[in-house]
Amino acid sequence: MSAALAFADDLSVPAQESLRDLLVDLTRAKQQLAFQYASWCIRAPSVEANIALAGMSQEELGHAGVLDGLLGDELKHPVLGKDELVSWEHWSASDDDHAMLGTWPGMIVSCLALDASAAASIEALKACSYARIAQRALKMAQEEQFHLLFGTETVKTFRDLPGDASKGLAGLYARSLADAETRFGASKALARLVELGLLAPGAVDTRAKFLQGVAQRFHAACG
């Protein structure tokens, strides 16, 4: 197969293709998160937030590297290298979708939605019957808990924003999540993996419940 994974030669072609597509989408989502967090880690409103963002950027970049490492060298997918990832000039000049988000509330809410989409997929992959995937998903899921907590706790600080700006956060989260699900969502890929026997039948429901839980935490944080 021309786009084989760097592992799992014993899996069927359909299984490899489904895993490949899922890993590529998750890698792209993780790189986008890493870029946004890195872009803001010296612009946040507090030193503590800057430090948190710097650590989250490193972790997301690490996740992207691990996921990308599972993909075979023959797969020509457009992922950026480390130096390119942290270069605002490279991203903004080459891809409008990856331009730096311009406001602090906008970045936090948009990234929380994207992070929730990616984290929900990783949560489902913890039950993957292929041990190499499950082990990596377990480690990532643990780190994602802090990222989502940081996002929801930061949203609480936006309650004092002017009325229109505060009310717009729920709509921004919904739009950002819908966009993330369209571009990086894994429901179809996960359903295919269930059909192929690599995931338990409840994996798609697990992902949906995870997303619902994050949404509830977000709305509670909005007040």
Q: Is the pLDDT of residue 5 over 70?
A: no
Domain that holds residue 55: 13-222
Q: What is the CATH number of the domain that holds 94?
A: 1.20.1260.10
In a domain, 130, yes or no: yes
Higher-confidence position of 133 and 88: 133
In a domain, 117, yes or no: yes
In a domain, 36, yes or no: yes
Backbone angles phi, psi at 3, to 5 degrees: -115, 50
Q: What is the mean pLDDT of the chain?
A: 83
pLDDT attached to residue 144: 94
Beta bridge partners, 5, equal 71
pLDDT attached to residue 1: 32
Tens of pLDDT along 106-133? 999 999 999 999 999 999 999 888 888 8
The structural domain count of the chain equals 1
Please state, in angstroms and rounded to a whole number, the distance separating the CA atoms of residues 129 and 222: 38
Higher-confidence position of 10 and 24: 24
In a domain, 39, yes or no: yes
pLDDT classification of 63: cutoffs 50, 70, 90: very high
**b/e 3-38 (16+ beta carbons within 10 angstroms → b):** ebbebbeebeeebbbbbbbbbbbbbbbbbbbbbbbb
Q: Is the pLDDT of residue 46 over 50?
A: yes
CA-wise closest residue to 123 among 52, 194, 209, 19: 209
In a domain, 170, yes or no: yes
Q: Is the pLDDT of residue 81 over 90?
A: no
Report pTM.
0.86
In a domain, 1, yes or no: no
Angle between helices 131-156 and 104-125 (to 10 degrees): 150
Query: How far does CA 221 lie from the centroid of its chain?
Result: 20
Place of tokens 């002017």: 162
In a domain, 165, yes or no: yes
In a domain, 211, yes or no: yes
Tens of pLDDT along 158-167? 988 776 667 7
pLDDT classification of 153: cutoffs 50, 70, 90: very high
